[in-house]
Amino acid sequence: MSIINKWRERSRRSPRKKDGVLSKVEKVAWGASGSSENILHNATGMMANPILNIGLGVSPVLVSVALMVPRFIDAFVDPLMGRISDNFKSRFGRRRPFVLVGGILSGLAFALIWMLPRGWSEMATFWLFLFYMLIFFACFTVFIVPYLALGFEMSPDYHERTTLMSYRSFFSLVGSILMQWIYWGCTRPCFVDTVQGMKVIGLILGGFVILTSVVTALFCKERVLPAKKDAVERKISFYESFSVAWKVRPFVRVVSVCVLIIVGQLSIMQVGMYLNIYYVCKGSQAFAGQLQGVIGTGYVLSSLLVIPAVAHCSRVFGKKRTLRSLMTVGAIGSLLSFILVNPNYPYLQVLGLFLGGPATTGLWIIAPSMIADVCDYDEWKTGMRREGAFGAAYGWFTKIGGSASILVSGLVLVMTGFKVSSGAGQDAGTILWMRILIALVPAATFIAANLLLRKYEISAELADQIKKELGEKA
């Protein structure tokens, strides 16, 4: 018997301590694709301007448009993918086949994005990049919606869901470490320039995405949901998949929090990167790549350390109270960045990230766990299981928020007065505005998210009551 077959057999035979507790193999297998999810979500936005604007001379506004349009279109495709997955039937389940096929296609499409030729006009490069991005996000949708839905339904246990999301967050941070060093890797002397470097890095990361999606598809088990007494099976309509989120208040609150934090991070991401390159590093791309790698790694390590604490606090104090506390910590860390981003002490800014990192990591542990609770809450209210619909709605809201933020990021960079041609000689007013934005925008969204969570309805007691009543109906 091969090693893979032995591992799968061990997973099938592993006894569970109680109902809803997953084996480590399952949690690792599902969490592994969290690293790929993070890379696929964020690496294009992180590297598009350094490659297209600095490397190929494309306007940052055009780059933002090329990043935004596919995400915007994809947001409307997500509900369709959710409907397809919810209603799909096969001997391998309704999620895993899409995770496998979508993951492989996403890895190949990610590598394709960076195969941009030199010597083309600005508009020709823009249109080619946009075309590649449309292909990429179509493939990504096939992967991400069933992947999230699979995680929402793997366990019915209130606390085990948080543990499962902790595994995903751990691997997501592994992906973050890889991303922090992409720019540094592209500036290595073995490459002619960053454009050539990104072509090679893109192929490596694409292969990594394919590997993790295969692991998830092979070693995760889909939970068989009990049939309801006297229940009549019906398929979920496209409209229902698209509109379900608007009818479930706890879901709207959680997703609104996620969108706020995404907006706070992405809308000033390019401002922060260019501030480091041309203000802190005096225009040295090599030093900027190294600085980003070191600071980003510190950010990730601080986030890794907080994962067990977040899971523990969630069990002791509840998900809502823990998440609200993390939002407060994130706001403080963001405000400190105005002081800590300093060319005389380049690495000082890592201190602010030791607060912002745990806050963002905690959000991506607790929020998906809350959405899994919402799936039970919705079934309790309506009698239907709609993980795919919620996964699609979650993807829709976050992608719309991300799309708008990416478009705004390019416009904001231009509005500050920043000019690539000025290099390290940017106007003092431009630098001041960039410093203000990277401090105030994320802080404002952390504060708003904290206020939104005040009236989140689903407590541990209510979740246990729902689980009990749903069990009695089965």
* Whole-number Å distance between alpha carbons of 381 and 457: 14
- Residue 14, pLDDT score: 44
User: What is the mean pLDDT of the segment spanning 104-109?
Assistant: 97
Indicate if the pLDDT at residue 473 is higher than 80: no
The region that residue 282 occupies, defined by phi over 0 for left and psi between -120 and 50 for alpha, beta otherwise, is left
Residue 272's nearest CA partner among 353, 331, 193 is 353
- Alpha carbons 205 and 77: distance in angstroms, whole number: 25
Q: In the numeric block, which tokens belong to residue 62?
A: 């055009």
CA angle 413, 327, 433 (to 5 degrees): 20
State pTM to two decimals.
Answer: 0.70
- Rounded mean pLDDT of 27-47? 90
Confidence of residue 156 (pLDDT cuts 50, 70, 90): confident
Alpha-carbon span 20 to 305, nearest angstrom: 26
Long-range (24+ apart) CB contacts under 8 A made by 118-127 are 118/56, 118/195, 120/56, 122/57, 122/58, 122/59, 122/62, 123/62, 125/52, 125/56, 125/58, 126/52, 126/58, 126/62, 126/63, 126/65, 126/66
Q: Is the pLDDT of residue 437 over 90?
A: yes
pLDDT (average), residues 319-330: 93
- Please indicate, yes or no, if residue 36 is contained in any of the structural domains: yes
Q: Is residue 211 part of a domain?
A: yes
| pLDDT class of 225 with cuts at 50, 70, 90 | low
> Which region holds residue 318: left if phi is over 0, alpha if psi is between -120 and 50, else beta?
left
How many domains are contained in the chain?
1
pLDDT at 258 over 80: yes
Give percent above pLDDT 90 in the chain. 35
Kindly indicate the confidence band of residue 15, based on its pLDDT and cuts at 50, 70 and 90.
very low
Rounded to an integer, the average pLDDT of 310-328 is 91
Residue 53 sits in a domain of what CATH number?
1.20.1250.20
Name, in order, each residue with C-beta under 8 angstroms of 316's C-beta and a sequence gap of 6 or more: none
Average pLDDT over residues 201-225: 90
Decide if pLDDT at 17 tops 60. Answer: no
pLDDT of residue 87: 82
Of 233, 234, 258, nearest to 245 (Cα)? 258
Q: Is residue 15 part of a domain?
A: no
pLDDT at 7: 44
Look up tokens 């990043």; give the residue: 67
> In the chain, what is the straight-line distance between the N-terminal and C-terminal CA atoms, in Å?
38
* 218 in Cβ contact with 4 (< 8 Å): yes
Q: Is the pLDDT score of 19 beyond 80?
A: no
- Taken in order 220, 225, 226, 232, the sign of the CA dihedral is negative
User: The domain containing residue 416 runs over which residues?
Assistant: 24-222+237-473
Measured distance CA(187)–CA(196) in Å, rounded? 9
The answer to whether residue 10 sits within a structural domain is no
In a 10 Å sphere around its CB, with 0-12 CB exposed, 13-18 middle and 19+ buried, how is residue 183 labelled?
buried
Residue 244 domain flag: yes
